[in-house]
């Protein structure tokens, strides 16, 4: 693999890969929630994208009434999105204006989504692999942060994203086996890993303190996203943005208070790591 094609370290953007070695660890849901909270915590413009096609994608979680939305913009989806950006680059080089038109603005001038297209998986992965750098560079002025929902398996594009990301947010289930498997197979990522224990339930035997002690994980490198039934409903109804905005100022007696409070805590930890990494990059530049 030609490393020269994969140099994503330039500029002041922070590239964050949301990933897991476990297919059922809630990576996409965690990314969706954190991306919204981060804006309320002062993060600058953010671009969200995936390097794979899935029906349970960011659009499903972040766009209300998704089916009606897709019907209304069917032509938009067919003519835009990740595939379109990639194909256009092959045909006539990169186009900054084209890339900007290919995003959906989720929150006013703050949160943007590059939609997926239905495409054969092998073709999508191949094109994404060889064209990720010019695609991402087109958004350098549009957002200082890029959150990438990264495919679980060892695809070409996933390997590249994990290698070049400034931070890898690894979502794992609340059990010891998930962590053992990660440490056995992906220890090379540890230096830039932040762990999220997904769907966390306080009454289980395996607590976050137990996990920290067992694996020697510093407090600033691990957090949780709590189990919350209303949040799960919001995911599948495309109401994540509305759910978070409505509950941001909820009082301590509200049933969603603990969930929002811990989500904010998790997001702040990630942002603190990001701010440090961004500062170090600017010092080098």
Instruction: Report the pLDDT value the prediction gives residue 275, as an integer from 0 to 100.
Output: 66
The predicted-structure confidence for 38-54, as pLDDT tens digits, reads as follows 999 887 789 898 887 77
- The pair of structure tokens assigned to 182 is 């990660």
Instruction: Report the pLDDT value the prediction gives residue 65, as an integer from 0 to 100.
Output: 65
Question: What is the percent of the chain with per-residue pLDDT over 70, rounded to a whole number?
Answer: 68
Instruction: Report the pLDDT value the prediction gives residue 218, as an integer from 0 to 100.
Output: 96
pTM of the model: 0.83
**Distance between alpha carbon 191 and the CA centroid of its chain, in Å?**
19
> Number of C-alpha atoms within 13 angstroms, CB side, residue 1?
12
Instruction: Report the pLDDT value the prediction gives residue 215, as an integer from 0 to 100.
Output: 97
Instruction: Report the pLDDT value the prediction gives residue 160, as an integer from 0 to 100.
Output: 84
The predicted-structure confidence for 89-123, as pLDDT tens digits, reads as follows 444 444 455 455 567 889 988 898 887 655 556 66
Instruction: Report the pLDDT value the prediction gives residue 159, as an integer from 0 to 100.
Output: 86
Helices (H), the chain: 27-40, 58-62, 66-72, 74-79, 82-92, 96-101, 121-137, 156-164, 176-185, 208-215, 229-236, 240-247, 257-284
């Amino acid at each position: 693999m030609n490393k020269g094609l994969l140099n994503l370290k330039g500029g002041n953007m922070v590239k964050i890969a949301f990933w897991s070695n476990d297919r059922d660890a809630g990576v996409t849901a965690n990314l969706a929630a954190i991306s919204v909270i981060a804006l309320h915590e002062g993060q600058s413009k953010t671009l969200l994208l995936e390097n794979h096609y899935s029906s349970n994608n960011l659009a499903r979680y972040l766009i209300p009434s998704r089916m009606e939305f897709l019907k209304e913009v069917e032509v938009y989806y067919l003519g835009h999105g990740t595939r379109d950006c990639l194909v256009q680059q092959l045909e006539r080089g990169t186009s900054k204006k084209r890339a900007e038109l290919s995003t959906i603005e989720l929150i006013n001038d703050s949160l943007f989504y590059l939609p997926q297209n239905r495409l054969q998986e092998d073709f999508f992965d191949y094109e994404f692999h060889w064209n990720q750098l010019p695609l991402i560079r087109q958004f350098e002025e549009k957002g200082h942060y890029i959150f990438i929902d990264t495919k679980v398996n060892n695809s070409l594009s996933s390997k590249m994203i994990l290698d070049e990301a400034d931070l890898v947010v690894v979502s794992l289930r609340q059990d010891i086996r998930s962590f053992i498997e990660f440490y056995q197979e992906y220890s090379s990522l540890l230096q830039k890993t932040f762990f999220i224990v997904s769907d966390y339930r306080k009454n289980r035997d395996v607590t976050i303190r137990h996990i920290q002690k067992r694996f020697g994980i510093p407090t600033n490198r691990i957090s949780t996203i709590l189990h919350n039934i209303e949040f799960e409903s919001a995911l599948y109804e495309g109401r994540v943005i509305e759910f978070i905005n409505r509950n941001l100022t909820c009082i301590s007696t509200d049933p969603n208070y603990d969930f929002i409070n811990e989500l904010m805590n998790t997001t702040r930890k990630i942002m603190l790591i990001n701010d440090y990494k961004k500062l170090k990059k600017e010092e080098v530049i």
